[in-house]
Amino acid sequence: MDMQVIPARSEDYNLKDYQKTRENFKWDDVNKHFTWNETGKVNIAYEALDRHAENPAKKDKVALLYSAPGREERLTFADLSKQSNRFANVLKKHDVNKGDRVFLFMPRSPEFYAAFFGILKTGAIAGPLFEAFMEQAVRDRLQDSEAKVLITTPALIERVPQDELPKLETIILVGESGVAHTYIDYHREMAGASDEFDIEWVNLEDGMLLHYTSGSTGKPKGVYHVHNAMIQHYATGEWVLDLKEDDVYWCTADPGWVTGTSYGIFAPLLHGVTNVIRGGRFTPDDWYETLEKNEVTVWYTAPTALRMLVSHGEGALRKYNLTSLRHIMSVGEPLNPEVVTWGLKAFNLRIHDTWWMTETGAQLIVNLPTLEIRPGSMGKPIPGIEASIVDHEGNELPPNQMGNLAIKEGWPAMMRQIWNNPGKYESYFINGWYVSGDSAYRDEDGYFWFQGRLDDVINTSGERVGPFEVESKLIEHPAVAEAGVIGKPHPERGEIIKAFISLNEGYEKSDELLEEIRQFVKTGLSAHAAPREIEIRDSIPKTRSGKIMRRLLKSWELGLPTGDTSTLEE
Ligand code: 6R9
């Protein structure tokens, strides 16, 4: 086949020989990079911060280069270690213990990182939430996790339905509230807390993180990760991120998303590397400015951002000096071959696609710096990972045949359970394979090619949205009788959310009504879950057992054959 490939450049990458490393590799080989390998004392926060803070050569190195409009701060490893100690003391004062859930609902800020690591230092489980979440999304997650403490800001507190959260004992507010007596004030508590803390030693299999994510059915589920994940964060930080001592690393992902924790926090800090932290939404010029100003060397971002840069034009980029940049990666949705080609021209660099999921905790299939890139392919499994394409029964399929992308059970960063839903975890496995729900094929040379989702999960601008959540919100609106929600292909956003609704009696179709319904989802759930298109139908197709036939809605929308409709309700 005549295919464009992009050869690796002859640079001194950390992972030199993919094949040889794969053949000889055991996950235990990574253990030597951690202090617990000798001391037996485990805590990911110790490995990411305190270990460096105790190292005279490292303690004054910048861990976080933070900037937001109107605020710039640098925190060294020693600073962040101490700040998180203080916060851990604050939490202890409020009776937080190992295994308790402590949630963060706030923008990225120095306080966020101090709190995040403070939580881990107490042995509690951290639950970071996107600041874009509205009341319903916040309620679902805090209720399901039975969170005991929430750290948030005065601007976001009104989205926290406190009356409906009986398990939530303490709310800590970061920032002036005017109602400080009702809440715990972050800065006041921190000022009164010691910067020394006896870190809680845990087991590798103890919980550290809950990330809520969407499936095709039911409410968002709490994906439970344990300290053991650090082994894979470290290894992929070395091989895939190619981190080196003097790097300035920027991961653009929000910590509400697994990329923002595994690769926005853990992998770089475990390697003791300096991180650029930049919050909020930005224009293409803000992205370039951030890269230039901080002399970023390694950049991990997402296709939706890269597509935005492409449509902004190469001329905009030429105004900046981006010569520091040496390595770019992408995750979250398919990386269009055109974007890879553009990157080659615009940055004179390859853009490395990486594939993984909230559930998998860390990268699994990637384009390694040392390997050639086939634009459009997600690359190959990292050492220690066996990947394949399987059918419904978990039988492996030959090359070039499409099926369910699957990973051989057992890797360090794999989720250990679905919170509050013990049976659910098992449903991910068939015949010893973790089955991803992504359809893909593998070519003769072992490169994997993403084709789409096998279920109804929507991926809009890299955000995973469950149709059920949106449908549930839609039918709360008095005008909406029934709703079915699908992802509709879109050139820049990957997919957009399209809702089909039927109206209750007494309601007439109008543009105002549709806009009102859209706003209802936007303000009730979150902006990214609001349907961009709404179509009114007399009824929504359902199976005899009452399930919405989203597949049929999609076929109609795309003008495709409707397939088997034997289960369609009369
Ligand atoms: C880390 C993360 C997981 C789903 C996954 C797939 C899609 C992720 C991708 C990709 C094509 C890639 N996805 N990376 N699709 N190419 N490189 O994204 O986690 O939010 O749980 O999403 O995202 O469909 O199953 P999460």
| Residue-wise pLDDT tens digits, 243-278 | 999 999 999 999 999 999 999 999 999 999 999 999
Instruction: Assess contact for 91 and 151: CB atoms under 8 A.
Output: no
Three-state DSSP class for 253?
A: coil
Q: Which residue out of 330, 356, 374, 428 has the highest number of ligand 1 atoms within 8 Å of its CB and is therefore the one to mutate?
A: 356
- Comparison of pLDDT for 517 and 216, the residue scoring more: 517
Q: What is the 3-state secondary structure (H, E, C) of 293-361?
A: HCCCCEEEECHHHHHHHHHHCHHHHCCCCCCCCCEEEECCCCCCHHHHHHHHHHCCCCEEEEECCCCCC
Q: Whose CA is nearest to atom 2 of ligand 1?
A: 357
Strand 327-330 and strand 298-301: the pairing is parallel
Strand partners, 275: 64, 249
Most confident among 91-95, 181-185, 339-343 (mean pLDDT) = 91-95
Q: Which residue out of 251, 262, 459, 460 has the highest number of ligand 1 atoms within 8 Å of its CB and is therefore the one to mutate?
A: 459
Instruction: Assess contact for 346 and 314: CB atoms under 8 A.
Output: yes
Atom of ligand 1 nearest to the CA of 452: 24
The pLDDT, as a whole number, for residue 566 is 63
**% of the chain residues with pLDDT over 90:** 82
- Comparison of pLDDT for 26 and 314, the residue scoring more: 26
Q: What is the mean pLDDT of residues 87-101?
A: 98
Per-residue pLDDT tens digits for 460-481: 988 889 898 899 899 899 999 8
Whether pTM > 0.90 for this model: the answer is: yes
Residues 6+ apart with CB under 8 A from 448: 355, 365, 377, 378, 379, 380, 381, 387, 405, 440, 441, 442
Q: Whose CA is nearest to atom 16 of ligand 1?
A: 334
C-alpha 502 – ligand 1 centre gap (Å): 32
DSSP 86: H
Q: What is the mean pLDDT of residues 224-245?
A: 98
pLDDT beyond 60 at 338 = yes
C-alpha 121 – ligand 1 centre gap (Å): 30
State CA 513 to chain mean position distance: 34
Q: What is the 3-state secondary structure (H, E, C) of 93-133?
A: HCCCCCCCEEEEECCCCHHHHHHHHHHHHCCCEEEEECCCC
Atom of ligand 1 nearest to the CA of 335: 16
- Lining ligand 1 with CB less than 6 A are 213, 258-259, 331-334, 353-358, 378, 436, 438, 450, 453, 459, 464
C-alpha 388 – ligand 1 centre gap (Å): 16
Per-residue pLDDT tens digits for 46-77: 999 999 999 999 999 999 999 988 899 999 99
Q: What is the mean pLDDT of residues 365-389?
A: 97
Q: Whose CA is nearest to atom 18 of ligand 1?
A: 332
Per-residue pLDDT tens digits for 421-468: 988 999 999 999 999 999 999 999 999 999 888 888 899 988 889 898
Write the burial class of residue 176 (CB in 10 Å: 0-12 exposed, 13-18 middle, 19+ buried).
exposed
Residues 6+ apart with CB under 8 A from 365: 354, 355, 356, 378, 379, 380, 381, 382, 385, 387, 405, 448
Please give the single-letter amino acid code of residue 175.
G
pLDDT beyond 80 at 562 = no
Q: Which residue has the tokens 């319903």?
A: 136
Per-residue pLDDT tens digits for 520-545: 999 999 999 999 999 999 999 887 66
Atom of ligand 1 nearest to the CA of 436: 25
Kind plus residue range of the DSSP H or E element containing 511: helix 511-524
**% of the chain residues with pLDDT over 70:** 97
C-alpha 333 – ligand 1 centre gap (Å): 5
Strand partners, 379: 448
Name the average pLDDT for the chain.
Answer: 94
Instruction: Assess contact for 248 and 274: CB atoms under 8 A.
Output: yes
The pLDDT, as a whole number, for residue 182 is 75
C-alpha 481 – ligand 1 centre gap (Å): 32
Per-residue pLDDT tens digits for 148-205: 999 999 999 999 999 999 999 999 999 977 665 678 999 999 999 999 999 999 999 9
Q: Whose CA is nearest to atom 10 of ligand 1?
A: 333
CA atoms 160, 161, 164, 170: torsion sign = positive
The pLDDT, as a whole number, for residue 1 is 43
> What is the full DSSP assignment across 367-406?
--TTS-B-TT--BEEPTT--EEEE-TTSPBPPTT--EEEE
Q: Which residue out of 233, 450, 461 has the highest number of ligand 1 atoms within 8 Å of its CB and is therefore the one to mutate?
A: 450
The pLDDT, as a whole number, for residue 3 is 65
310: its two tokens: 């492409």
C-alpha 216 – ligand 1 centre gap (Å): 14
Q: Whose CA is nearest to atom 19 of ligand 1?
A: 357
pLDDT beyond 60 at 2 = no
Three-state DSSP class for 222?
A: strand
Backbone angles phi, psi at 275, to 5 degrees: -115, 135
Longest dimension (CA), the chain: 74
C-alpha 308 – ligand 1 centre gap (Å): 19
Residues 6+ apart with CB under 8 A from 322: 288, 291, 292, 347
pLDDT beyond 80 at 569 = no
Kindly provide the ipTM of the predicted complex, given to two decimals.
Answer: 1.00
Poorest-confidence range of 157-166, 304-313, 513-522?
304-313
C-alpha 253 – ligand 1 centre gap (Å): 13
C-alpha 331 – ligand 1 centre gap (Å): 7
Q: What is the mean pLDDT of residues 126-133?
A: 95
Atom of ligand 1 nearest to the CA of 356: 1
Q: What is the mean pLDDT of residues 18-41?
A: 97
- Residue 286 binned pLDDT confidence (cut-offs 50, 70, 90): very high
CA atoms 372, 378, 384, 387: torsion sign = negative
Return d(Cα 469, Cα 476) in angstroms, integer.
11
